[in-house]
Amino acid sequence: MSTSPVKPGSDLASRFPISVVIPCHNAGRELKLCLEALFRNDVTNLEILVVDDGSSDSTAQVVEDFAQGGNESPAIQYLALGKQSGPAVARNQGVRQASHPFVLFLDADIVLTRQSIELIRESLDLYSHRSDVIGVLGSYSEVIPWDDFLTNFKNLSICFLYKSTDTLSSFLHTPIFCIRREILERVGGFDSR
């Protein structure tokens, strides 16, 4: 009798299924890198919702290319807003379509490391006994995939902020964070004003 090997983190994947919501506007180049990095992670019990906020670039084609990726790929959905409405509206639309109890928000220019999903799930598990902890914030890296000054400055300043503040944060930095969907629903989602 043979048994198939258990994937690392598979217990956490079953306990913490995640819907990934990626709001984007004219971010085809960045989205491609974001999705490539995401797919290098363990994508067990993961669904991906790309919410296109009125793009006029290759965003739809990038998602279509990944959707045709094969059986190992998680479910990926392309949701197009009729017009540009802003990231809050796009995030809210993604939450409405999400089927998992945890929602991971990624900006289209976020490039995850290989074990990011596993680390997020481990953090959710670590704090699962604490009702005052509602999610996990991601930190920027000192390694930057982009070559423009503003992006580098923003990336390094956020990286410094995360390294110099308390582990438990009272603020929410939206480019990368995972939260229980019920919390978002309870507060009415993101303020689109």
**pLDDT single digits (tens) 125-172:** 998 998 887 888 776 655 665 566 776 676 666 666 666 666 666 666
The order of strands in the sheet holding 75-80 is: 75-80, 46-52, 18-24, 102-106, 176-180, 135-137
Global model pTM greater than 0.85 = no
Please, are residues 137 and 168 in contact by the beta-carbon 8 Å criterion? no
